[in-house]
Structure 1
Amino acid sequence: MYWPEPLDMSATRSLSTTFGAEVLDFQLTENPSDEDTSWIKELWAEHKLLLFRNQTFNEAGLVGFSQRFGDLEIHVREEYLSPEHPEILYVSNIERDGKRIGILSDNEVGWHYDQIYLPKPAVGSLLMADTLPPEGGNTEFADMCAAWDALPEETRNRLDGALANQSYEAFNRAYSVPTNNKQKARSPDIHHPIARTHPVTGRKALYLCPGMTTEIVGWDPAESEEMLSFLFDWTTRPEFVYSHAWKPGDALMWDNACTMHRRDPFNPQHHRLMKRTTILPPAERAVPF
């Protein structure tokens, strides 16, 4: 494993007992060096979730840095994209000219994987804090590798090879604004393995979430509901979860193959604007993996 100078492992701080690391004194730039990009890739794979504090880069910098890790998605919710950089999705409760500029408003947003409803789901996301409320709006992440490893062997054996139905419509009904017909056509329900092997680390992770997973394909409905209820409770146990209280200048980068996330609500009288890029898998990667 190669660690370029002047960066080394002392430049990180653990965020929880099983995953997550703060990368200390590192500025995200539009054109990071090959050495820095390789180092961040190593940290990303090892820790699953990376925190960068005190960032000052703009939207062009967010896009440029993110593109070093893969092609970027143009999100299906085109009404919430940056006017100048459509690779950026706005997550916000701010309104301009009577219309909300971002998705997901100020309510609670339940546990989900980004783009789990697509044939080739995202491999990662980078979220930058632009405008924050004085309190609330924390983002929680769950380590789905640790959750899988801790399951009883009998349960792992039952789940290995099983498929689950993923529904973007189910998520929108619960937490967001319904999609229009064009958007629905771009995001129909899809089946993905409940347990996937990470293509870089080789670790297996649970790939399901309360916000979008509706059933285990081919199972008796009652058994499917019982197992999903158990897994939703299991994966969100405190020992698998890290809660992030945002500060101005924070940026979080997470591995979408092995972490799911949620958001706490916040006071609608206060504004919040987050800017997110979504990193797609390389064309040669087999999906699902």
Structure 2
Amino acid sequence: MQLTPLAVGFGATIEGMDLRQADAGTAELLRAALLEYGLLVIRGQSLTPRDQVLATNVFGKPEVFPTMRGQLSGWPEIFRVASRAEDGHVDVGRYWHSDGSFREDPTPISFWYSEVQSEEGGDTLFTDLQQAYAELQPDIQEEFDTLSTAHRNGVVHPLVLRHPKTGTRALYLNIGLTAGVLGYSADHSKALMAAVDRHYSRPDATYVHHWLPGDVVVADNLHVAHKATPITPSTRRILNRTTVRADGVIWSNPAPEAGAPRPAP
């Protein structure tokens, strides 16, 4: 198993492993890497729906989705994103967001498997929410630290969220589903959200993932946000997504004390 940090400053690629054969030591290494880098890109996998659900269990208990058009029959844990309606859900997430932010307890981890991928279109963009907060001017940080946002379904979250495992602050704003900032007028809320949207997209802050067949991408939704880009029905693409429940997440164990043995890579 070889881990290489991405040049953008967050995230890492992992090569030389088969998720179907991950043992306890490998699982712990994956959890530790996700906690450190926020995003894992694992190439060359071959996963059945059952394999994907089992691999998701490395990070915690999967969420279950209601039966609806586009879902994969017999696998309620898998939310299918596709370029064609007969294959899954289309035209979703084309704005900066973290999956499951509309929940009272936000979805901590998302896991995508590229089942069918065209050579053109449908890239996914990722940005580091912790670095986005760190790069704000101190007076803006102080303002944002006091604010909360309301989703369209009424769920309220702080605009600056502390990671439940590391305590690191991160901007946390779903650009598409947020109704407004509590205590701010509609115009003020709109202006703030537009400014955050631009900040997420600032130069050199985005990792662009071009999907290849067999790709797995795992994201810590409290560390990074993502954004879909357009893909037309003229080309066929299917991403199978599983997500981890907030009450079932498994973060990395505490680092061993000095001199204690570590799992071999």
> Structure 1 residue 108: deviation in Å?
7.6
**1:87 paired residue among 77, 90, 93:** 77
> Structure 1 residue 84: deviation in Å?
2.3
> Structure 1 residues 218, 77: closer, same or farther in 2, change over 3 A?
farther
Whether the 8 Å contact between 2:40 and 2:218 is mirrored in structure 1 is: yes
Q: Which runs of 5+ in 2 are unaligned?
A: 251-265
Deviations along 1:92-141, whole A, 9 cap, x unmatched?
1335xxxx331124x88222210111111110111010111220100000
Give the counterpart letter for 2:241 in structure 1.
Answer: R
Q: Does the residue aligned with 1:238 lie in a helix, a strand or coil?
A: coil
Q: Does the residue aligned with 1:278 lie in a helix, a strand or coil?
A: strand
> Structure 1 residue 223: deviation in Å?
2.3
Give the root-mean-square deviation of aligned CA atoms.
1.9
| Cα distance in 2 between the residues matched to 1:32 and 1:25 | 11
Q: Give the match for residue 22 of structure 2.
A: 32
> Structure 1 residue 250: deviation in Å?
0.7
> Structure 1 residue 282: deviation in Å?
2.7
- Does residue 230 in structure 1 map to residue 200 in structure 2? no
- Does residue 73 in structure 1 map to residue 59 in structure 2? no
Give the counterpart letter for 1:102 in structure 2.
Answer: G
Q: Give the match for residue 204 of structure 1.
A: 169
- Does residue 148 in structure 1 map to residue 133 in structure 2? yes
Q: Which runs of 5+ in 1 are unaligned?
A: 1-6, 168-187
Q: Give the match for residue 37 of structure 2.
A: 47
**2:118 paired residue among 133, 154, 158:** 133
Number of residue pairs aligned between Structure 1 and Structure 2: 250
Q: Give the match for residue 23 of structure 1.
A: 14
| Cα distance in 2 between the residues matched to 1:38 and 1:211 | 34
> Structure 1 residue 161: deviation in Å?
3.0
| Bigger share in helix | 1
Whether the 8 Å contact between 1:27 and 1:52 is mirrored in structure 2 is: no
> Structure 1 residue 226: deviation in Å?
1.9
Whether the 8 Å contact between 2:72 and 2:79 is mirrored in structure 1 is: yes
> Structure 1 residue 283: deviation in Å?
5.8
Q: Give the match for residue 179 of structure 2.
A: 214
Whether the 8 Å contact between 1:209 and 1:232 is mirrored in structure 2 is: no
1:233-252 matches, cutoff 5 A: 233-252=198-217
Give the counterpart letter for 1:12 in structure 2.
Answer: L
**1:253 paired residue among 207, 218, 242:** 218
Give the counterpart letter for 2:88 in structure 1.
Answer: G
| Cα distance in 2 between the residues matched to 1:77 and 1:162 | 36
TM-score (norm 1): 0.81
Report the identity percentage.
26
> Structure 1 residue 225: deviation in Å?
2.1
Whether the 8 Å contact between 2:87 and 2:238 is mirrored in structure 1 is: no
1:165-176 matches, cutoff 5 A: 165-167=150-152
TM-score (norm 2): 0.88
Give the counterpart letter for 2:68 in structure 1.
Answer: E
Q: Does the residue aligned with 2:122 lie in a helix, a strand or coil?
A: coil
Q: Does the residue aligned with 1:44 lie in a helix, a strand or coil?
A: helix
